[in-house]
A = this chain, B = another copy of it.
Amino acid sequence: MAAGQIFGLGVGPGDPELITLKALRLLRAAQVVAYPAPETGDSLARAIVAAHLREGQREIALRFPMRPGPPPAALYDEMAERLAGELEGGADIAVLCQGDPLFYGSFAGILARLAPRYRVTIVPGVSSLTAAGAVSGAAIVQRDEVLTVIPATLAEDELTRRLAGVERAAIVKIGRHSAKLRRVLAGLGLIDRALYVEHATLPDQRILPLAEIDEGAVPYFALVLVRGPSR
C-alpha cells in the first residue's frame, strides 16, 4: 500500500470564512484531520473549520504544553511518529494550522521531521499579521517601508535593540510578555504608536491602544502593530 501524504493547511486567523477554497477542499478530502490543541480543552484551529468536517474523518489532537518556551523536541518526535503511523497505513492527513503553517506555526516542527520521508503539501493561509492589519483599518506596510516582525518572547534588551528606530513593526506572541513590551516601547518613545489587536476577525476581537490594555488578561493570540516615525 502506498503511504499517505500530509497537507499542512492554513485555516486563517479565526473567522471561519477566512479559509481558502484550496484548504477547504483538501481538508474535506483527508481521511485524518490533525490539529494543535492545549493540554486540556479545545483546539482553536479545529473550531475554525468545525462546520466543514466530514462524518467519519478521524481526528488527532496534537497537544502542546502551556509551559513557557518552545515545546521540547521529543514532543515533536512523538507527534511525527504518530502521524507517520497513519501515513504508513495509507491515510492522507490534513494538519490544521491557525493562520499560516509557516509563519510562527508549530507545523514547522512536524514538517522538518516528516518531509524527508513523506510527500508534504503546504497551503498558505491568511496570517494573524494581515488579519490584524485588516481590522486595524490602516496599511501594515506600504511603498518602500520596512516591516520588522518580532516575538515578544525575546529578552528585554534584545527587544529594545530590535525595536529601536523601527519604521513599521508587528510584535507577535504577546501573552504574558505584555508588561515587558510596554516598558520597552515606552522607553523608546513608541508606546503611543502601538496598537493592540486581540483575536482579530473573531467575535471577541478587541482593538485598542497598547497603553490602555489590562496586562493581566492578554492572550497568546494577540499582536501589536507599531507605526514608527517616518524616515
| In contact, A133 and B100 (Cβ under 8 angstroms) | yes
| In contact, B130 and A103 (Cβ under 8 angstroms) | yes
With A144-B154, A148-B147, A149-B146 as known contacts, state yes or no: A130 contacts B133, CB within 8 Å: no
Asked if A86 CB lies within 8 Å of chain B CBs, one says no
With A12-B20, A20-B17, A24-B21 as known contacts, state yes or no: A137 contacts B151, CB within 8 Å: no
Asked if A101 CB lies within 8 Å of chain B CBs, one says yes
A103 to B170, CA, bound (A): 12
Asked if A105 CB lies within 8 Å of chain B CBs, one says yes
Question: Which of A35-43, A77-85, A120-128 makes up part of the contact surface?
Answer: A120-128
Minimal beta-carbon separation of A28 from chain B (angstroms): 13
For residues 84 through 116 of chain A, which have their beta carbon under 8 Å from a beta carbon of chain B?
100-105, 108-109, 111, 115
Number of interface residues of A (CB under 8 A): 57
Minimal beta-carbon separation of A5 from chain B (angstroms): 13
Asked if A206 CB lies within 8 Å of chain B CBs, one says no
Q: Chain B residues near A142: list those with CB within 8 A.
A: 102, 104-105, 108-109
Shortest Cβ distance from A150 into B: residue? B146
Q: Chain B residues near A22: list those with CB within 8 A.
A: 15, 17-18
Q: Chain B residues near A141: list those with CB within 8 A.
A: 102-104, 149
- With beta carbons under 8 angstroms apart, the residue of B115, B125, B146, B149 that contacts A126 is B125
A24 to B20, CA, bound (A): 10
With A20-B18, A25-B17 as known contacts, state yes or no: A111 contacts B134, CB within 8 Å: no
Top 7 closest A-B pairs, CB basis? A17-B22, A108-B139, A124-B130, A124-B134, A122-B134, A147-B149, A102-B133
- 13 of the cross-chain contacts (CB-CB < 8 Å) are A17-B21, A19-B21, A70-B144, A100-B130, A100-B134, A102-B130, A103-B130, A103-B141, A104-B142, A124-B130, A124-B134, A146-B154, A148-B149
